[in-house]
Amino acid sequence: MTKLKVIHWFRQDLRLSDNPALYEAAINGDILPVYILDDINAKEYKMGGASRFWLHYSLTSLNQSLGGKLSIYCGDPSQILPDLCSRHNISKVFWNRCYEPWRIARDKQIKEHLKSLGVDVESHNGSLLWEPWTISKNDGTPYKVFTPFYRKGCLSAPYPRNPLREPDNVNFIRDDTGTLAIDDLQLLPTIAWDKKMLGYWGFGEAAAKDYLIRFLESGVIDYKEGRNYPAKKFVSRLSPYLHFGEISPNQAWYAIKQLGDNINTDHFCSELGWREFSYSQLYYNPELPKKNLQAKFDAFPWQENDEKLLAWQKGLTGIPMVDAGMRELWETGYMHNRVRMIVGSFLVKNLLLDWRLGERWFWDCLLDADLANNSASWQWVAGCGADAAPYFRIFNPVTQGAKFDPDGEYIRHYLPELKNLPTRYLFSPWEAPAAILANAGVELGVNYPNPIVDLSLSREEALAAFASLKG
């Protein structure tokens, strides 16, 4: 008897373990594993440069795990999948659901088209602990504040499913006529800005599990407090792996829960809850990447200043904590979450530049650039989103630096031109006496910029601008 052939369409689930759609596909027949780079339907939301870099190495790792059987394409899945089904006599297509608005619309159309051709489609949840439509208030409306969303919604809902093992004895088959090599996708930059990043990361499912184990052994022990200090090792750095699905949130959740309930494990689980909250916001507000959730912000008097925007992007604002964060982003494709809040607040509240400019830059530079998390986080820091920081909460990058990088280790790492400056002046070098600057080899305006904005004055201007909003 001939065994049925099915497709597993890999998307944001680039792993073999705890992959619900792959697990079910393995029960149904021989599997043709497929990845399709779809820039056509993504349009303005196609992956940025850093994400494409990660994807190259993640696909390489996945293909190795599949014994070289991954079939790779570039184009419109609505054309590629029906063609594959026809050529290989595919009976069923499996995938794990995605939640970006453009993907929801695309997947619905593909599902209907395949069914009209006599090909069944089965989709699963492989990316979230709780899908957006499963968490709502008693009146059926979505939560707009995180704490009740997580405490009353998520923690009162059915518990997340247990992780699945990798399917056994799977026969993977390959399409030998139309598949591309990973290099053919041209995901890597033509200018080799990515070389430093290679030294910071491992890629793929095995690397994701290594990061999780490392965090369980040494990071989670002081997570609630330690996660705020960018020079310390109390964060998981799992965000790129979660974004590409090299590890599932279920695997992280249950691994943490095995350590028992305490303030550190509970807080890490609540951070996974913030990820769920972001996806809920995007699902119920498809314009989240573009449109203020609070309509009153549509009248905000954002300034236009390309020179200041470029200084922020390059880490040349003259504010060390901001510059260190922006250079970490450029060098590693990652930025510590505390520092993300600092640089975001500086852009929108000290420079009065539109949060969407920051969102776009992060989209291109972050390895973990996630439409839901990125958009929701920028709306949060700007004050215009759900459960947002109040407009009068303006992060002072000088005091934040002194508090969360007290020894200056983080700043000195990413701003070597300031490494010899005494810690007392490291967070505000413009306050250092000339002799101190000279002794440290710092020439403001020459090898390190003067501040592009007065922090106190810009704070007052921001407060006035935000207070002018009605409603």
**pLDDT tens, 444-455?**
999 999 999 999
Mean pLDDT to the nearest integer, 240-262: 98
DSSP secondary structure letter of residue 416: G
Could you report the per-residue pLDDT of 203-241, keeping only the tens digit for each?
A: 999 999 999 999 999 999 999 999 999 999 889 999 999
> According to the model, what pLDDT value does residue 195 have?
84
pLDDT surpassing 90 at residue 90: yes
* 274 classed as catalytic: yes
Among residues 130, 201, 378, 380, which one is catalytic?
Answer: 378
Could you report the per-residue pLDDT of 35-64, keeping only the tens digit for each?
A: 999 999 999 999 999 999 999 999 999 999
Mean pLDDT of the chain: 96
Mean pLDDT to the nearest integer, 385-395: 83
Mean pLDDT to the nearest integer, 303-326: 99
Is 105 marked as a binding-site residue?
Answer: no
Which residues 6+ apart lie within 8 Å of 320 measured at CB? 397, 401, 411, 415, 418, 426, 427, 428, 429
Among residues 9, 355, 361, 380, which one is catalytic?
Answer: 355
* 355 classed as catalytic: yes
Among residues 166, 302, 331, 430, which one is catalytic?
Answer: 302
Nearest one of 19, 13, 71, 23 to 169, comparing CA atoms: 23
Query: Which residues face 35 on adjacent strands?
Result: 10, 72
* 337 classed as catalytic: yes
pLDDT band for position 387 (50/70/90)? confident
Contact indicator for 362, 374 with CB cutoff of 8 Å: yes
Among residues 102, 131, 331, 337, which one is catalytic?
Answer: 337
pLDDT surpassing 90 at residue 469: no
Among residues 274, 312, 361, 363, which one is catalytic?
Answer: 274
Contact indicator for 258, 213 with CB cutoff of 8 Å: no
Could you report the per-residue pLDDT of 16-31, keeping only the tens digit for each?
A: 999 999 999 999 999 9
Tell me the DSSP string of 231-284: TSS-S---HHHHHHTSS-HHHHHHHHHTT-SSHHHHHHHHHHHHHHHHHHHHHH
Mean pLDDT to the nearest integer, 343-370: 98
Is 368 marked as a binding-site residue?
Answer: yes
Domains and CATH numbers, the chain: 5-126 (3.40.50.620), 128-162+205-284 (1.25.40.80), 295-467 (1.10.579.10)
Among residues 271, 331, 417, 461, which one is catalytic?
Answer: 271
- Percent of the residues in the chain that have a pLDDT greater than 70, as a whole number: 99
pLDDT surpassing 90 at residue 395: yes
Mean pLDDT to the nearest integer, 315-337: 98
* 378 classed as catalytic: yes
**What's the rounded Cα separation, in Å, for the pair 86 and 117?**
9
User: What is the bridge-based pairing of β-strands 30-37 and 92-96?
Assistant: unpaired
Mean pLDDT to the nearest integer, 83-112: 98
* 54 classed as catalytic: no
User: What is the bridge-based pairing of β-strands 92-96 and 120-124?
Assistant: parallel
> According to the model, what pLDDT value does residue 471 have?
57
Is 370 marked as a binding-site residue?
Answer: yes
Mean pLDDT to the nearest integer, 250-279: 97
Is 172 marked as a binding-site residue?
Answer: no
* 201 classed as catalytic: no
pLDDT surpassing 70 at residue 284: yes
> According to the model, what pLDDT value does residue 194 have?
83
pLDDT surpassing 90 at residue 371: yes
**What's the rounded Cα separation, in Å, for the pair 426 and 449?**
13
pLDDT band for position 470 (50/70/90)? low
Helices and strands, counts by H and E, the chain: 22, 5
Is 438 marked as a binding-site residue?
Answer: no
